[in-house]
Amino acid sequence: MSSDQQDQKTDQQEPKKKRSSSFTPQEPDKRKFSRVEVHMKVELRTTYVYASASVLNLSTGGVFIKTGKPLPVGSELDLAMHFPNLETPIQISGVVRWVRSGAELDQSGMGVELMNITPEVRVAIDECLRQGPKNF
């Protein structure tokens, strides 16, 4: 067998290695709702956890909660959100849909889908979205 034939045989037997690339194309934004950056106090509660945290962004359908100890995906929780235009916090339930654990605590948190949104909650969220980025 010639050297060229051996090379062809070897190429056929070994799977080709994929090239590694540092370039990754950006995926299109899959969000259903636009978001606004906020800094809002929130208390969250599950059967086993009670904690205070900060909402860093808000949309009609969900929030990103900054926390060094995100809950597992699928966790159901109750939120008490402190909206600026309301005297008392709004109570709403949510489900953790994704978690981000960063090397730095300011990158860690969880995306929470808001469930059973009442008209009162919808009005408060819409007002925050109209006002744009804010610290509350």
Residues forming a β-bridge with 134:
38
pLDDT tens-digit profile, the chain (136 residues): 555 555 444 444 444 333 333 333 344 445 455 668 888 999 999 998 999 999 999 998 999 999 988 999 999 999 999 987 788 999 999 999 999 987 665 679 999 999 999 998 888 888 888 887 766 5
Asked whether residue 4 is domain-assigned, the answer is no
DSSP-H helix ranges across the chain:
3-13, 119-131
Q: Domain for residue 5, yes or no?
A: no
In a domain? residue 121: yes
| pLDDT confidence of residue 29 | 47
Can you give the residue range of the structural domain that contains 39? 34-135
Question: Coil, helix or strand for 13?
Answer: helix
pLDDT of residue 104: 65
CA–CA separation, 16 vs 130, rounded Å? 53
CATH of the domain at 56: 2.40.10.220
Query: Does residue 3 lie within any of the structural domains?
Result: no
> What's the total number of domains in the chain?
1
* pLDDT score recorded for residue 74: 97
Q: Has residue 110 been placed in a domain?
A: yes
Start-to-end CA distance of the chain, whole Å, equals 77
Q: Is residue 24 part of a domain?
A: no
In a domain, 75, yes or no: yes
Answer whether residue 2 is part of any domain: no
Single pTM value for the model: 0.71
